Structure 1
Amino acid sequence: MSFQRVFQSYLKDTLIVLLGTLLGALFAFLTQIQIARNLTVAQYGIFSTQLTLLNFLAPCIGMGISAFWLKAYGEEQEKAVRWMPISLKLVLLTSCLVLGIIIINALTTKNLSFIILLFFSLYCFGQSVVELVGSKYQIELNYKKFSIIQLIPHSLRLFIVLIIIILGESGLINFMIAYGVSGFLIVLYGAKDLINFFNQKALSNKSEIIKILDLLKKSFPFWSAGFLYLIYLQGAVLILNFLVGAEQVGYYSAAFVFLASVYIIPSVIYQKFLLPQLHKWAYHDNKKIKKVYSLGNKLMFFMGCIFLVILYLSSDFIVDLIYGDDYYNSILIVKILCFAIPFKFISSSVGAILSTKDYVGRKVKLMLIASIFNILLNFILIYYFSSIGAAIATVLTEIFLMIMLMSLYKLSYARKL
């Protein structure tokens, strides 16, 4: 295949993934706005707290195997099928453990029904299916299906939330039910493809015994990276709720919606599209890795600065337009948070490369340091400055993590290319 055809194919795939993910981000953004507008600030804080907890639990189902699959297939190619039987066992085991945590939370949470919280938790299992099935499509380079599975959850939630609002049934309980329904439908939608993926037969007739512990050793660093990322990205919500209450969570969550929407851009480029290729290039084409690092950092910094300026200058207008006077306190939070964007964009570029070969373990150690740094900052700054302190902690953590990741690449990874 000629270079031109290869380039056209990559461009087409990139546009498909970009379109699907951007639409998904838009739908997620609109969903959060509608929920925030139809709840009090305190109720939105309660909703955000429970949603954040489920976002922490979703990656625990499978303990990072969706990301490990990308590495395994990049390194072993067809032979990676050998990991499938034990992957199924790990998913079932971790699903039971997550369900146990969900039940404990439902039993101990005050002012919310046990049944409602259990039903709401179906969102968590839906998110897990999206990640697992999404990895299958990435491995197959089927970016059309990958875009669809990424788009469906956000489309469903927006549709159901709008129906609730139109029917005049807006309320915290009904919005939680909406998320539960969407999670249930996503599990049904992805179950067939996921089961078929698990049931692949190995190329060799020789039976290879792989234990769950063997798989955990391989997947745990990937889970750790994702989980630690969530800690320093969303941990502020839980700490805010613990220290100052649901109302401040509402202000911070309303502001963070904008940041999360912008963060979709580097996620699409690196995690959704380039990562499977990066795993291959890391083992077979060092020159491309160097080019991706150099060009990627420059492009990410430039794009990040553009989004920083746009969001900073428009924050007063968009917060007032979207949320109204009730969320006036979110404006300053948005202004502070937008300074994290360029550093996050660069970290996405460097971090994706450090997810290849055997560097993910070192990357995890840096993310652990960043998470501890973030938690300590949040407890100190939230205590004195409430939600403003949480925003400052987020920006400082992004800067700190970017410096550490770039140092690891230059001092270790680049020297071995």
Structure 2
Amino acid sequence: MGTARRIAKNAAVTFFGDNLLKVLSTVLVILIARYLGDVDYGKFTFALSFTGLFLVLMDLGTRILIVRDIIQNKDKAPKIVANVLLLKVVSTTVVYFLMLAIAYFLSYDHNTMVALAIAGAGLIFDSLAATVGSIFQAYERLEFGVMARITRILLRFAVTVPLLLMGVSFIWILVIYAVVHFINFVMVLAICYKKFVALNFDFDKNMIVSILKRSFPFWLSGIFVTVYFRIDITLMSKLAPTALAGVYSAVSRDAVIGWYSSAYNLLDAAAAIAGAVSAAILPVAVAYFRDSREKLMKLYSLAARYLVFIAVPTAVGTTLLADKIIVLLYKAEYANASLALQILIWTMVPLCINYMMGAMMIASHQEKKGVYVLMLNAVVNILLNLYLIPRYSLYGAAVATVLTEIFYFAGYYFIISRSVGHLDFVKMFVKPVVASAVMGLVIFKFMGGLPVVVAIIASMIIYGAAMFLMKALEEEDIALIRKIFIRKEI
């Protein structure tokens, strides 16, 4: 299969598959939020967020390293994956009990400890499944990973929705999540054996030591990224004010976490496109760094530019329609999440470019330098949250997220501009900014009374028309699309 077709196939699989997954996941989370209410939903999301802080410790930074090593030597795939799996059995067990010990030290109540124990058990199997699933990305057969993840969310749907209708507590929803993680691990392992290779469980001490040494930068990077994305909810569980002048009064911190999580879920869903594209181009970027820096730069700039084409109007439209979106998707009790969403959605713009730079960082073997950026990023995020959350609650956490993502962008761009190349930001931003301004003006002036779904569809049409009139799709891009469809190389 030619390079262009391979990129197209993997991009299509990840784009449609992962975005279908994200849609299903978002719908399920919205249903959970609506049925549990803001307080219990806050407890539910705290359990997932707190345990998620420890998932990266279980991972040991091996997932990306497995992909890169197998791409370079597929004959060693059975032994590499098997040895890492043995290593992960030990790491997941140790980290699980460490997590429970820390939670006990932080004086969380009995129900919270039970929730953390259940959620953490599920993450053990999630970590093991991710290790085996790395082989799908290394062989550029992303459809198997997508299939496994979609099956996982469908299983969650099939069991969770009836339980919600029965009025069960959030603890039982966490039980379902854990059981489904186990089923997913078994399924991924079966696909690996049937479609790829039988794992070779021949313990190799030298290989494990080598993997641990080389994965250390990825592990540190993962720790810092995880702290950035998940520490806010943990800090809110201890620091968020129970009253905020002019906004809310006499509420539990669980409710505040529920509001924040409802807004963050929508940002996470919107950012799924960038994650899908980044995952699709990583194997090709690794090969291009070795064989053709010119092609690597072309891949990098085109992917980043088109993600910006999506990110800018998404941020503008969501800012103008946030209050209606929150009430439509959740309930009126989540209305305080609207301002948080208006702030958080602007993370989309730097985030899209950061996803691409992350792929370039790995492809160009700059992960050690990236660790320093991520370390500073995590420190900045913690300091911002420590200052802003006690004063501004969930809105302070939202501001901290946006500012940290901008800081992240600056650090990564400083490194990537020297190892891969500079992005043309004028070319990247001018047309989508102008088109988004036109769209935003129309929303503000004429769409205030329209149902939110109608307003969103109309906004997409207006933005698309403006981009078409400005000829945002250039001849080079059209030529690339033609090459993909007539099955020629880039």
- TM-score relative to the length of structure 1: 0.89
Q: 1:152 Cα shift? A: 2.3
Aligned equivalent of 2:266 = 258
Q: For 1:209 and 1:391, locate their aligned partners in 2 and report how far apart those are by CA, in whole Å.
A: 45
Aligned equivalent of 1:49 = 46
Aligned equivalent of 2:220 = 224
Please say if residues 312 and 335 of structure 1, whose CA atoms lie closer than 8 Å, have aligned partners that are also in contact: yes
Q: For 1:175 and 1:208, locate their aligned partners in 2 and report how far apart those are by CA, in whole Å.
A: 39
Of the candidates 374, 379, 394, which is equivalent to residue 401 of structure 2? Answer: 394
Q: For 1:88 and 1:175, locate their aligned partners in 2 and report how far apart those are by CA, in whole Å.
A: 28
Residues 341-363 of structure 1, C-alpha deviation per residue, up to 9 Å, x if partnerless? 11100111112101124301111
**Aligned residue type for 2:45:** S
**Aligned residue type for 2:199:** N
Please say if residues 315 and 331 of structure 1, whose CA atoms lie closer than 8 Å, have aligned partners that are also in contact: yes
Q: 1:113 Cα shift? A: 7.0
Of the candidates 284, 287, 298, which is equivalent to residue 291 of structure 1? Answer: 298
Please say if residues 300 and 349 of structure 1, whose CA atoms lie closer than 8 Å, have aligned partners that are also in contact: no
Please say if residues 277 and 303 of structure 2, whose CA atoms lie closer than 8 Å, have aligned partners that are also in contact: no
Q: For 2:205 and 2:330, locate their aligned partners in 1 and report how far apart those are by CA, in whole Å.
A: 56
Aligned equivalent of 1:235 = 231
Aligned equivalent of 2:90 = 93
Residues 83-108 of structure 1, C-alpha deviation per residue, up to 9 Å, x if partnerless? 34532332122122122224436756
Residues 383-413 of structure 1, C-alpha deviation per residue, up to 9 Å, x if partnerless? 2111110000000011111111111112345
Structure 1 segment 114-129 matched on structure 2, within 5 A: 117-129=116-128
Name which of structure 1's ranges 156-165 and 7-16 shifts more when overlaid on structure 2: 7-16
Q: For 1:243 and 1:197, locate their aligned partners in 2 and report how far apart those are by CA, in whole Å.
A: 49
Q: Secondary structure of 1:61's partner?
A: helix
Structure 1 segment 18-417 matched on structure 2, within 5 A: 18-79=15-76, 83-104=80-101, 109-112=108-111, 117-166=116-165, 168-193=166-191, 199-200=199-200, 210=206, 212-244=208-240, 245-271=253-279, 273-414=280-421
Q: Secondary structure of 1:121's partner?
A: helix
Please say if residues 225 and 364 of structure 1, whose CA atoms lie closer than 8 Å, have aligned partners that are also in contact: yes
Q: 1:138 Cα shift? A: 1.2
Q: For 2:290 and 2:41, locate their aligned partners in 1 and report how far apart those are by CA, in whole Å.
A: 47
How many residues are treated as equivalent by the alignment?
406
Rg (Cα) greater in structure: 2
Q: Secondary structure of 2:147's partner?
A: helix
Decide whether aligned partners of structure 1 residues 215 and 9 sit closer, same or farther in structure 2, where only a CA change above 3 A counts.
closer
Q: For 1:117 and 1:130, locate their aligned partners in 2 and report how far apart those are by CA, in whole Å.
A: 20
Q: For 1:201 and 1:122, locate their aligned partners in 2 and report how far apart those are by CA, in whole Å.
A: 24
Q: 1:117 Cα shift? A: 4.1
Q: For 2:82 and 2:155, locate their aligned partners in 1 and report how far apart those are by CA, in whole Å.
A: 31
Q: Secondary structure of 2:341's partner?
A: helix
Q: 1:191 Cα shift? A: 3.4
Residues 240-291 of structure 1, C-alpha deviation per residue, up to 9 Å, x if partnerless? 11212322211111110000101111110012x1111211211222121111
Q: For 1:62 and 1:370, locate their aligned partners in 2 and report how far apart those are by CA, in whole Å.
A: 20
**Aligned residue type for 2:13:** I
Q: For 2:214 and 2:191, locate their aligned partners in 1 and report how far apart those are by CA, in whole Å.
A: 23
Q: For 1:85 and 1:105, locate their aligned partners in 2 and report how far apart those are by CA, in whole Å.
A: 30
Q: For 2:4 and 2:377, locate their aligned partners in 1 and report how far apart those are by CA, in whole Å.
A: 37
Q: For 1:305 and 1:145, locate their aligned partners in 2 and report how far apart those are by CA, in whole Å.
A: 32
Q: For 1:170 and 1:110, locate their aligned partners in 2 and report how far apart those are by CA, in whole Å.
A: 20
Q: For 2:204 and 2:175, locate their aligned partners in 1 and report how far apart those are by CA, in whole Å.
A: 44
Residues 291-322 of structure 1, C-alpha deviation per residue, up to 9 Å, x if partnerless? 12222232222221021123222211110111
* Percent identity of paired positions between Structure 1 and Structure 2: 23
Q: 1:221 Cα shift? A: 1.6
Decide whether aligned partners of structure 1 residues 147 and 322 sit closer, same or farther in structure 2, where only a CA change above 3 A counts.
same
Decide whether aligned partners of structure 1 residues 134 and 345 sit closer, same or farther in structure 2, where only a CA change above 3 A counts.
same
Name which of structure 1's ranges 125-134 and 90-99 shifts more when overlaid on structure 2: 125-134
Gaps of 5+ in 2: 241-252, 423-490
**Aligned residue type for 1:67:** I
Q: For 1:77 and 1:312, locate their aligned partners in 2 and report how far apart those are by CA, in whole Å.
A: 47
**Aligned residue type for 1:335:** Q
**Aligned residue type for 1:104:** A
Q: For 1:149 and 1:285, locate their aligned partners in 2 and report how far apart those are by CA, in whole Å.
A: 33
Decide whether aligned partners of structure 1 residues 197 and 65 sit closer, same or farther in structure 2, where only a CA change above 3 A counts.
farther
**Aligned residue type for 1:180:** A
Q: For 1:362 and 1:113, locate their aligned partners in 2 and report how far apart those are by CA, in whole Å.
A: 38
Residues 28-66 of structure 1, C-alpha deviation per residue, up to 9 Å, x if partnerless? 111211111122322221211110122222233241211
Q: Secondary structure of 2:36's partner?
A: coil
**Aligned residue type for 2:311:** G
* RMSD of aligned alpha carbons: 2.5
Name which of structure 1's ranges 330-339 and 348-357 shifts more when overlaid on structure 2: 348-357
Please say if residues 134 and 149 of structure 1, whose CA atoms lie closer than 8 Å, have aligned partners that are also in contact: no
Q: For 1:386 and 1:66, locate their aligned partners in 2 and report how far apart those are by CA, in whole Å.
A: 35
**Aligned residue type for 1:250:** G
Q: For 1:318 and 1:84, locate their aligned partners in 2 and report how far apart those are by CA, in whole Å.
A: 43
Please say if residues 126 and 182 of structure 2, whose CA atoms lie closer than 8 Å, have aligned partners that are also in contact: no
- TM-score relative to the length of structure 2: 0.77
